[in-house]
Amino acid sequence: MRPLDGVKVVTLEHAIAAPFCTRQLADLGARVIKIERPESGDFARGYDNRVSGLSSHFVWTNRSKESLALDLKADGATDVIQALLADADVLVQNLAPGAADRLGLGYDALRERFPRLIVCNISGYGPDGPYRDKKAYDLLIQSEAGFLSVTGSQQESAKAGCSIADISAGMYAYTNILAALLQRQKTGEGCRIDVSMLESMVEWMSFPLYYAIEDQPPPPRAGAAHATIFPYGPFEAGDGNTVMLGLQNEREWITFCEKVLQQIDLTQDERFNANPKRVAHKSELREIITSIFSTMTAAEVIARLDDAGIANAQVNDMHAVWRHPQLKARGRWTEVESPAGRIPALLPPGIPASFHPRMDPIPALGQHTSAIMDELSLACPRNVDRSDVAEV
């Protein structure tokens, strides 16, 4: 038995934030019915075709769901939605601002008929305020939240290499839905959840925010290095490969000097005997470290770091992550079915040993439409244009 067995989720979703939320609900056993635009579907289906013709984004966030192709503005579509919600526990939507309300799917319109329904709205900026109606894509939210101002090199800012703003919003939607399900067990009532991508991302930016409090200088962009701790970041070895390492305290600094650099006198150097001093003199210290590392291969540097108990990592590319020995040793890879056949999938992190996560197929567009309509004893509505019902 999975924790969310018997929980029904209806979702009007696109892109990443909402689909990532609902896929995790499906991992825990929830039945997730994904309503998609007929013919084109979730536009994330077309982002690329790298996974045997399927989109990498869609494969990642949509396993274990049922796909219902439904034009939300067609005659009879409201009857279908109302029938789906009759025994639903959760409605998730990340349509364009105001679209759910125009369709009669806002919380206030639904609460009287479905008092136990949990309605989770994911938007860029929230349901009110001067930015309410602005379009919000992942990169734009990274920019608005200040992420780009502290990420990148001294010369140029950089975005995260994955959809970090979408992921943050999806995670807060997921955890708040779980909390709402627990609360409903006590009160018997549903609720409205509003998740803003901006607010989710700003929460994740709290360290640099507090660091810059009261108009103090914010953390500088430091590339792959830590902005306020040194040495903490990438260092090149003599074979041209890069080693990532990090020190957290003065005890580790002394050990690093003694066992890795084999230069114990550095612990007495007034330029380096406290982290703020090492940050202030990082150019000199980096030159010392790289001159010593230049006499060794990356493997030899890592061996010394491991022997000294100093945190370190390899700088892996995606191919190396697919082959990562730790993931293989822990059996973290499995396979799921898809319209393109079986494809690899990472097991969800943190699942208790008391149950197996749901790892069902990735649906083809509209794959479950007939079965769901038969279940509801309804005919599928005729499609009409719904161009104003767009993504977040």
Q: CB within 8 A of 244, min separation 6: which ones?
A: 224, 233, 234, 235, 312, 313, 314, 315
- With tokens 């000097």, the residue in question is 257
Which pLDDT score is estimated for 221?
86
Do residues 273 and 260 make contact, with C-beta atoms less than 8 angstroms apart?
no
Q: Check pLDDT > 60 for residue 50.
A: yes
**Please, what sign has the CA dihedral across residues 134, 39, 377, 89?**
negative
Do residues 123 and 196 make contact, with C-beta atoms less than 8 angstroms apart?
yes
Please give the average per-residue pLDDT across 60-77, as a whole number.
93
**Averaged pLDDT of the chain:** 92
CA triple 256-260-264, angle to 5 deg? 65
CA triple 110-111-116, angle to 5 deg? 115
Any idea where the domains of the chain sit in the sequence? 8-205+331-376, 232-314
Which pLDDT score is estimated for 228?
86
Q: Check pLDDT > 90 for residue 312.
A: yes
CA atoms of 162 and 60, how far apart (whole Å): 12
Which pLDDT score is estimated for 366?
94
Nearest of 167, 115, 111 to residue 141 by alpha carbon? 167
Strands 118-123 and 192-196, sheet pairing? parallel
Percent of the chain with pLDDT over 90: 81
Which pLDDT score is estimated for 223?
83
Which pLDDT score is estimated for 41?
93
Q: Give CATH for domain 8-205+331-376.
A: 3.40.50.10540
For residue 350, give both structure tokens. Answer: 């943190």
Nearest of 365, 64, 47, 27 to residue 171 by alpha carbon? 27
Over residues 193-237, the pLDDT tens digits come to 999 999 999 999 999 999 999 999 998 888 888 888 999 999 999
Q: Which residues pair with 349 in a beta bridge?
A: none
Q: Check pLDDT > 60 for residue 86.
A: yes
- Classify domain 232-314 at the CATH class level: alpha beta
Please indicate whether residue 378 or residue 216 has the higher confidence score (pLDDT): 216
Which pLDDT score is estimated for 90?
98
Task: State residue 110 phi and psi, 5-degree precision.
Answer: -100, -25
Q: Check pLDDT > 80 for residue 385.
A: no
Q: Measured in whole angstroms, how far is the alpha carbon of residue 145 from the centre of its chain?
A: 16
pLDDT band at 387 (very low <50, low <70, confident <90, very high): very low
Over residues 3-23, the pLDDT tens digits come to 999 999 999 999 999 999 999
User: Which of 166-175, 353-362, 377-386 has the least mean pLDDT?
Assistant: 377-386
Please give the average per-residue pLDDT across 187-194, as a whole number.
96
Percent of the chain with pLDDT over 70: 97
Q: Check pLDDT > 50 for residue 392.
A: no
CA atoms of 30 and 36, how far apart (whole Å): 18
- With tokens 């007939």, the residue in question is 370
For residue 335, give both structure tokens. Answer: 């396979």
Q: Check pLDDT > 50 for residue 388.
A: no
In three-state form (DSSP H/G/I as H, E/B as E, the rest C), the secondary structure along 268-335 is HCCCCCCHHHHHHCHHHHHHHHHHHHCCCCHHHHHHHHHHHCCEEEECCCHHHHHCCHHHHHCCCEEE
Q: Check pLDDT > 60 for residue 386.
A: no
Which pLDDT score is estimated for 75?
86
Do residues 315 and 234 make contact, with C-beta atoms less than 8 angstroms apart?
yes
Across the beta sheet with 311-314, what order do the strands follow? 232-236, 242-246, 311-314
In three-state form (DSSP H/G/I as H, E/B as E, the rest C), the secondary structure along 96-145 is CCCHHHHCCCCHHHHCCCCCCCEEEEEECCCCCCCCCCCCCCHHHHHHHC
pLDDT band at 382 (very low <50, low <70, confident <90, very high): low
Please indicate whether residue 333 or residue 226 has the higher confidence score (pLDDT): 333
Query: For residue 189, what are the CA distances in angstroms to 6, 179, 297?
Result: 17, 13, 62
